[in-house]
Structure 1
Amino acid sequence: MKIVIMAGGKGSRLWPRSVDEKPKQFLALTSELTMLQQTYRSLSELIPIGQLYVVTATQYHSLVTEQLPELTLDHIITEPVQRDTGPCIALSALHFLRKEDDEVLVMMPSDQHVPHVQALTEALRAAEEIANESSNIVTLGIEPVRPETNYGYILASSAVDSTGARRVVAFVEKPDIDTAHKLIAERNVYWNSGIIVWKPSTIAAEMREHQPELWNGLLNAGDDVENAYGRLPRISVDYAILEKSEHLYTIPFGYAWEDLGSWASLERIREEEADRNGNIVHGVVHAFHSNRNIVFSEGRQTIVIGADDLIIVSTAEGLLVCHKSKEPILKSIIQDVEKRGGAASG
């Protein structure tokens, strides 16, 4: 089993801490290690480091080598440009198939908090067993603990095989809050973790069936990979393959898990650091008559008075003041500001 850490995303929902030049996976948000370093260190406890790879965009190649000096260059798979997880995973599969290497791959996001390493090991080994059978795809399904609109949902069958896996019946893309409430009230419903276990040959077969334009675009690129990659459709692997495949299983994972994609997720991980009024602060911050705020101040003293339930983030790249209830629309607003020529990036 090999593990490929996907480290090419932008992290717009953590603006202005996460920006294009240095997105969230290269930031230290929960400890002294960056998210990429934490993920790599945790996974190195599962398998030999010679089985660990990173796939990232060209613009972040130097950040990867800087933060993971032990990672050899032949273990870095480079995307010419960012094209979402569909092309990213196709490129990774092709990297190994061209070496006639069809060992099972774990495609793992770089921005997840999974403290129970032993439980993760057992789940991935079970997934590896299923993925080695025929052309199966296995995801880790997270048992939901709240209605969540930032994750996709997996609807699974009630039947369980000897490995604990369930066949996936359907995917539900990121729902509205009412739908999320209904989903978590059902049985055999899980969050989509984004952790996918499958063989390179399985990826190739699924791409040929469901995304022939994407797959053929890669195969026929020749020496023009940079330009060809930029012409590939920008599509997530969920839409490209997982929602369409008839060979999909999920292994329920009932341990602590967090996708570090938003200020709310960071708050949940760091909730034990909150002061007596529920404020979580970073930097030189003084909060008076204020409750349940997230305040991140980089490089300047910040004073907060009479504020409740706000996200306040001050960095050299910008200042964010956002009510927690409006955080779900932060990404779309940042994108809108960029389109209108604003300075926001992320």
Structure 2
Amino acid sequence: MIYPLILAGGTGTRLWPVSTKHRPKQFKALLGDSTLLQSTYNRILTGFDKKNIHIIAGSAMSGQIRQQVPIAKGNLLLEPLARGTAMAMGFAAVKLLSKDPEAIIVTLSSDNYVKQINKYISQLKKAARLLKQYPDQMILLGVKPTYPETGYGYIKRGKAIKNSGFYRVEAFTEKPDKLTAQKYIRSGKYFWNSAVFVFRAEQLLLWYKQYLPDLYKILLKIQAAKSQAQVAKEFARAEKGLSIDYGLLEKLPDIMVLPIELDWADIGNWRSVRDVLLMEGQKENILNSHYVGLESKNNLLYSFNNKLIATVGVEDMVMVETEDAIFMCPADRAQDLKLLLQKLWQHKNLRKYL
């Protein structure tokens, strides 16, 4: 059975001040009436049985998740401590194996934008079907790049798998500069890493046993735990911040990628929010505010307080206002918000705004 697993535990600091540690971006309606989590859940619901959809997140987010999506109690996997995606996926694998020893997991970020939903669902199922032929494989979904994005990781395809549409993965590259990203696009061999992973739950634990033995031992103890206190104790022993990419993918000798061409975005910063709205046909992007402008275009203007925003000669800017903070930057500098927040953290009297 196929089990979509929505990873909903991130904090989304690069969408501050709307996204904060107590109310992160996945619970915000940034692209319309639905929150990012609701959009992801509803998207997957079009192609998979509700009883098989699972969400994993920190226990502190339980209430917000239940308010936003009709997830069954047993399908909400709660981590007592945040320990990175390697731990999250391993924990989910242990839980799902207790339900189904043949479980196939499809991991999905809670903050992605996808336009061609039917095509997307079809490719997810295609990847899951291939595991019957290649049960010891990790399969990734690679999105054909449409512009030289410097904020995404890239997957370089290698040898084609005959008559399948799949390729071996030759290399992973992290967030290239613009010139390098342009070369990637011209080559036709690189795809955006969508962070969609398709694998057998049992196989994931076998990989952990070989490549992440310490984490594997922790997961075995969690599997045998009789109380939540024991589970929390084992979580505390796990390495902090270990991602599936660095912890496992870079060590696997053979990985497959399934390329897909569709309108997709990782809603990771304010420029990506603006770009998605441009993709939807808006020339001037106004969210939750009254606006009048003169010779202004391609701006993201967001007012939590529904205030009037007026601009003259402003292009390619981001302006976000919430109840207690205002943020502005050129759209192409949106990635640098992370650096700004590091500077803000240095001022103890300002940390309350994070």
Q: TM-score, normalised by structure 1?
A: 0.92
- 1:260 match: 267
C-alpha displacement of 1:268: 1.9
- 1:285 match: 290
In 2: Cα distance, 1:187 partner to 1:279 partner: 32
Unaligned runs of 5+ in 1: none
- 2:246 match: 239
- 2:125 match: 125
C-alpha displacement of 1:99: 3.8
Cα–Cα, structure 1 residues 336 and 156, in superposed 2: closer, same or farther, change >3 Å?
same
1:63-96 per-position Cα deviation (integer Å, ceiling 9, x unaligned) = 111111x311000011112222111111111112
Greater alpha carbon shift after TM alignment, 41-50 vs 151-160: 151-160
What code does the residue aligned with 1:79 have?
E
C-alpha displacement of 1:299: 1.2
In 2: Cα distance, 1:344 partner to 1:153 partner: 36
- 1:24 match: 25
1:254-291 per-position Cα deviation (integer Å, ceiling 9, x unaligned) = 1111111221111122126777xx43112233343333
**When the two structures are aligned, how many residues end up with a matched partner?**
343
Of the three residues 309, 318, 321, the one matched with 2:325 is 318
- Whether 1:343 aligns to 2:332 is no
Cα–Cα, structure 1 residues 61 and 317, in superposed 2: closer, same or farther, change >3 Å?
farther
In 2: Cα distance, 1:345 partner to 1:34 partner: 22
C-alpha displacement of 1:2: 1.0
Q: Percent identity?
A: 27
C-alpha displacement of 1:241: 1.3
Of the three residues 266, 271, 275, the one matched with 2:278 is 271
SS for the counterpart of 2:319 is strand
Cα–Cα, structure 1 residues 183 and 126, in superposed 2: closer, same or farther, change >3 Å?
same
C-alpha displacement of 1:182: 2.1
Unaligned runs of 5+ in 2: none
- 2:163 match: 162
Structure 2 counterparts to residues 2-21 of structure 1, below 5 A: 2-21=3-22
In 1: Cα distance, 2:163 partner to 2:351 partner: 53
In 2: Cα distance, 1:231 partner to 1:181 partner: 42
In 1: Cα distance, 2:343 partner to 2:218 partner: 30
Is the contact made by 1:338 and 1:345 (CA closer than 8 Å) also made in structure 2? Answer: no
In 2: Cα distance, 1:126 partner to 1:288 partner: 47
1:285-322 per-position Cα deviation (integer Å, ceiling 9, x unaligned) = 33433333211001141433333332110002421011
Q: TM-score, normalised by structure 2?
A: 0.90
C-alpha displacement of 1:335: 3.3
What code does the residue aligned with 1:229 have?
F
1:225-267 per-position Cα deviation (integer Å, ceiling 9, x unaligned) = 2243234221221111112212310100111111112211111
Is the contact made by 1:218 and 1:225 (CA closer than 8 Å) also made in structure 2? Answer: no
C-alpha displacement of 1:108: 0.8
